[in-house]
Each structure stands twice: as C-alpha cells, then as structure tokens.
Homo-oligomer: A and B are copies of this chain.
C-alpha cells in the first residue's frame, strides 16, 4: 500500500500513461482521472484518458479534453476510483491484467494493480489524488476544478456522513486556486432535466399517505415514464424524493419495471427498519434504504408492502 508521497514518486517514473475510469462514470472518477492527467502533463509526460462509453452531458466535459487517440499505445496504465476489475467499462477490459497503479478509496477495493494506493476513510478518491498531485508540484486551477468536482460530488456537496475534516481542508485548498466552484455545485446539485422534473411533479402530485401520515407511497408507472419520454438517467435515485418528506418515517417508491412487476424502494427514518420490511417480501438492503420486487398489479403490490410495514413495525403503525 503506497502513501501519497510514494505514489507521487512512482508516477514520476511513468510515461505514456493511460488512465481508466469506472463504468457509469461519476464526478469522482472523471474528476480524478482528468486532474491526474493534467498533473502528469505538467511534469512533461504524455498522458491520456481512455474514453468511457457511459459519459453523460455532465461528465463528458471532464474526460473528453484528455481522451486518448485511437492509436495511443500506453506504456503504463493507472486506474482512478475503481474498486474492482468488474467495474471496468467494456473498452477497458483489455487492460484488466496490466494496471500498473490503482488509486481508490472504496472499502471493497480489491488491490488489482501492480501497485495500489487506497484510503478507505476518504470520502472521495479526489482527496487521495489531491495529496498525490500536491506532492508532485503546484495544483493548477485546471486540476483544482476537476478535483473539486470529484470531492463535492462524492459527498453530496459536503452534506453526506462520509465528509471528513480532510475533505473540507482539500476543498479549501482547491478554492484558493480561484476556480468557479459555484458552477460545479449548480450543475451537479441544482440542475435537473425537464423530464426529471416532470417525473417528480407527477410523483408528488399523486403521492398517498397511510398510517397517520407516517408512511408515504409514491409511484412511477410505466405509463408515466412513457408519457414524459424519460430515460433511465432521468429516473435515477427517484426513491430519494419520498425520503425528504418531513414527518414521514417510511417512504415507499413503486417503480413499474414491466406490466405486473413492481420494484419497491423503501427509505426509512430511525423508527422502522427498511431491510426488515423488504425481507418480508423477499428483498433486502440496509436499515435506512432497502428494496424488493413484487409481481402483482399496483393495488396488490401496495397492499403487500403496507402489510409488510405493519407486520415489521406493529407499534409504529398502531
């Protein structure tokens, strides 16, 4: 396991570097890869990012300026924010057995590199890359903007419980380069697609309350997805919405996967265990967030989850 200083020393010996990002790339993996690429180029090295087929309008501007040309033949391969080879995008699979350095922060990291730098207590891989780049030379605004994106997005803009004092101190140092951090936060946290807004609007307009208003049920039937021409990306993490309603201890989001099949996502406060509720219907998960799949029509699927809630927390429902 390498420290930031040792990782920096190793990178100094590399050239013609290809940097990999994970499947369904997020702000952390593209921000880390872009910043590292800029850092290596600042040392006079040749470095590129492997294009990632999962880029979105939001993540593409980070990766594309550094995208490797098709004829680039790397001497060295580095991965950022990838816990396991199973999370390589398909076009990265040829490099699976030859990663020279893997830099990650996931507790589930599998040490698949010839050398590995991991810090499981870091909220974002961007925190490690910051420490590594700071050991290599000055952090430019270009690197800082990518790293700020990495750190901010992986912590929900410093709101989640993974945020640490180190996260904030890294953010402070990055801001001192004069970056437009406000635009990053607006883009990632205060912008939603029109279709996403329409989905949320319909869910909220039709939400139902049970058990003295402590249980909320929101639904996303296939007809709604079709009506607004929504994509999977528009529908991502819709179950978070119900979890934000004040006074609701248990929010159920019912997503119709296909006719007669509903995916139920349950988000709970401390008074009821989401995993216990979902286990009663053959699913599972965590205490505050769990899920299950029910084959039934809407009314019957809702009846079953409400019964599972009543059975799991009889005192709670009364």
Contact = CB atoms under 8 A, between A and B. Distances in A.
Contacts of A182: 159-161
A186 B245 CA distance: 11
Nearest to A180: B161
Contacts of A203: 201
A96 interface: no
A247 B192 CA distance: 9
A197 B172 CA distance: 34
Contacts of A159: 157, 182, 185-186, 189-190
Interface residues of A, number: 46
Contacts of A248: 194
A165 B158 contact: no
A171 interface: yes
Nearest to A199: B204
A200 interface: yes
A207 B201 CA distance: 9
Given A202-B205, A205-B202, A194 B245 contact: yes
Contacts of A286: none
A168 interface: yes
A176 interface: yes
A13 interface: no
Contact of A175 (B165, B202, B204, B216): B165
Contacts of A158: 157-158, 168, 171, 185
Nearest to A193: B246
A191 B157 contact: no
- Most chain B beta-carbon contacts within 10 A, residue among A191, A206, A209: A191
Interface string A214-244: 0010000000000000000000000000011
Interface in A282-309: none
Contacts of A259: none
A175 B166 CA distance: 10
A175 B164 contact: yes
- Most chain B beta-carbon contacts within 10 A, residue among A190, A204, A207: A204
B157 A194 contact: no
B161 A192 contact: no
A112 to B, nearest CB: 32
Nearest to A187: B246
Interface of A: 157-161, 163-169, 171-173, 175-176, 181-182, 185-186, 189-194, 197-198, 200-207, 209, 213, 216, 243-248
17 contacts: A157-B159, A158-B158, A159-B182, A163-B181, A165-B175, A165-B176, A191-B244, A191-B245, A192-B245, A194-B245, A194-B248, A197-B207, A197-B244, A197-B245, A198-B207, A201-B202, A202-B204
| Nearest 6 interchain pairs by C-beta | A201-B204, A165-B172, A168-B172, A159-B185, A161-B182, A201-B205
